[in-house]
Amino acid sequence: MPIYDISHPLHPAIAVWDGDTPYSYRSLCRLDEGASVNLGSVEMSVHTGSHADAPFHYDDNGATMETLPIETYIGAATVIDVTGHARLTRELLEPLEFAPRVLFKTGGWKDTAQFPEWIPTLESGVAEFLASRGVILVGFDLPSVDTLDSKTLPIHHELGAAQIAILESLALANVSPGNYELIALPLKLVGADGSPVRAILRTAPA
């Protein structure tokens, strides 16, 4: 069964939001310096690279990462290619068939060493429509589900109100549209507003 790794590698050059903690790995002990093991520590924002947003990220009363049902992040998923569309509208999505987890391939973030100047987003009201079709998770190959300059994060809030989980910064460039099994497990970070994920897609069984 083919496996598609849709997680971006974490390294110091990967772009982070202004003011976020950049990724760094620090060696604490080294075998070549006489230690009994190689041992390191990592520092980074929980929104670095491919990650899940918890509702607490945009709502003080929202659920934190460790409380979210793990089942949401495992199961049938559909990759939809929306490359070239500035707004993802209900009219665009209404004719399509899709699984409970929908991953949008936009092609809007080609160089993860720097943030794009502009990204496509869901149109207001699409979250409610997706929920009516049984969607429980959406993922994007973008650093946010809202416009990059948004301070109020309306699409985050609409998805939260529709009880739809969010994955951001997925690596979908080499994945064809179609049906898959998604596995994108967040870490069980107590009190956290998000978590890195190691996200993969497997070809859906026939």
8, 47, 57, 156: the catalytic one is: 57
Question: How far, in Å, are 74, 76, 100, 125 from residue 136 at the CA level?
Answer: 11, 11, 5, 15
In angstroms, how far is CA 91 from the centroid of its own chain? 24
* Spatial separation of the C-alpha atoms in residues 107 and 86, rounded to whole Å: 11
To the query of whether residue 57 is one of the catalytic residues in this protein, the response is yes
**Residue 40, token pair as written in the block:** 């390191």
CA distance 107 to 81: 9
Active-site amino acid positions: 57
